[in-house]
Amino acid sequence: MALTGVLRPGHIQIRVLDLDEGVHHYRDVLGLEETGRDASGRVYLRGWDERDHHSIILRQADRAGMDFFGFKVDSEATLAKLERDVQAWGLKTERIPAGDLLETGERVRFEIPSGHQIELYATKTFAGCDRGEKDPSHYSPKMDKGIAPMRFDHALLYGPNVDKVLDLFTNVLGFHLAEYVTLPDTDIKGALWLCCSNKAHDIAFVIHPEPGKLHHVSFYMESVERVFRAADIMAANDIKVDIGPTRHGITRGGTIYAWDPSGNRFETYSGGNSSYPDLPPIAWTWEGLGEGGGLDVAHRKLHETFLTVVT
């Protein structure tokens, strides 16, 4: 197996201001499948191409944002090794018991220098999916329900100490840097697209004074055409759109940024570069992010909300 260590984004717990409204958005409009609710009232969901029990967890709270982001690793031995490595790098870690999240084994959680709670886990129940496993026709109506993303794909997080985050992810957690943006007139990397696989990215960071902020949670669509279909569904459901449909120059993914009812930004995303650890990262300047079309190829500008609206 070529892909080892940290395998993929596994889950993200999102805070919503009203649970029913949040469930309506993520289950009925986005079209994710609800796979469980736990004793504390959290709601578990996933996309139609996911085989793990869940990827999205909704928790009702007084403020929007992200509680934690979890990565699946390849074994309990890797989990224990990365736990030691993260400690040796200088972070405190916490073991969260199996079963705290439904159908999920022990998790190792730590706060990274940007102020985000990141966790690793090795075990989550494979719950199968209708497509291709139970239904030999390879079709399930879930593939057309609502906006119908295939999976939770990545998140973009805002916070300080992005240089330290880069060191931790590349030198401890085994990620590679796929693309980055330098701050105006410097060679300081102010935005990072990091990858543990060969997708365009698995997690991204933008430098920001306030720690622990969520810019967006991204959902992978089967095609860019499906991103346009998502725009129709957003319009029909009065979802407030931030940017798009357009294409990002950075990652080259087709995209819409829009807001859930609590003000958390989400993205419907498709296509994009593939990346490999031996390739030098793609370097963008600050001007490239804006006028160069890094953020928005069609409009070639740095939208004001991109740097200012986070939860």
Touching ligand M3P, residues 170-229 (CB under 6 A):
204, 218
- Count of residues in contact with ligand M3P, rule CB under 6 A: 12
C-beta separation of 145 from 31 below 8 A: yes
Contact status: 269 vs ligand M3P (CB under 6 A):
yes
CB nearer to ligand M3P: give 190 or 253: 253
* Given 15, 54, 248, 265, the residue binding ligand M3P (CB under 6 A): 248
- In the set 201, 208, 215, 220, the catalytic residue is 201
Q: How many CA atoms lie within 13 A of 120 on its CB side?
A: 27
Using rule CB under 6 A, residue 295 touches ligand M3P:
yes
Q: Which stretch in 11-19, 65-73, 158-166, 248-256 sits in contact with ligand M3P by CB under 6 A? A: 248-256
Q: Does residue 303 have an active-site annotation?
A: no
**Rounded to an integer, what distance in angstroms lies between the CA atom of residue 56 and that of residue 271?**
21
Going residue by residue from 218 to 257, which x/- string records binding to Fe ion, judged by CB under 5 A?
A: x---------------------------------------
Q: Which stretch binds Fe ion (CB under 5 A): 3-11, 82-90, 262-270, 302-310?
A: 262-270
- Give alpha helix (H) positions in the chain: 19-23, 76-89, 162-171, 224-236, 286-289, 304-308
- Angle subtended at Cα 14 by Cα 29 and Cα 202, rounded to the nearest 5 degrees: 90
Please tell me the number of Cα atoms within 13 Å of 284 on its side-chain side.
Answer: 24
Calpha distance 121→98 (Å, rounded): 10
Query: In angstroms, rounded to a whole number, what is the distance separating the alpha carbons of residues 219 and 51?
Result: 15
- Site map (CB under 6 A) of ligand M3P, residues 137-166, x = contact: -------------------x----------
Per the annotation, the verdict on 267 as an active-site residue is yes
Q: Which does 289 bind (CB under 5 to 8 A by kind): Fe ion, ligand M3P, none?
A: ligand M3P
The interface partner of residue 212, options being Fe ion, ligand M3P, none and the CB cut-off 5 to 8 Å by kind, is: none
Q: Is residue 289 involved in binding ligand M3P (CB under 6 A)?
A: yes
CA distances from 268 to 158, 169, 247 (A): 19, 25, 11
Q: Are the CB atoms for 160 and 262 separated by under 8 Å?
A: no
Residue 154 annotated among the catalytic residues of the structure = yes
Q: Is 208 a catalytic residue?
A: no
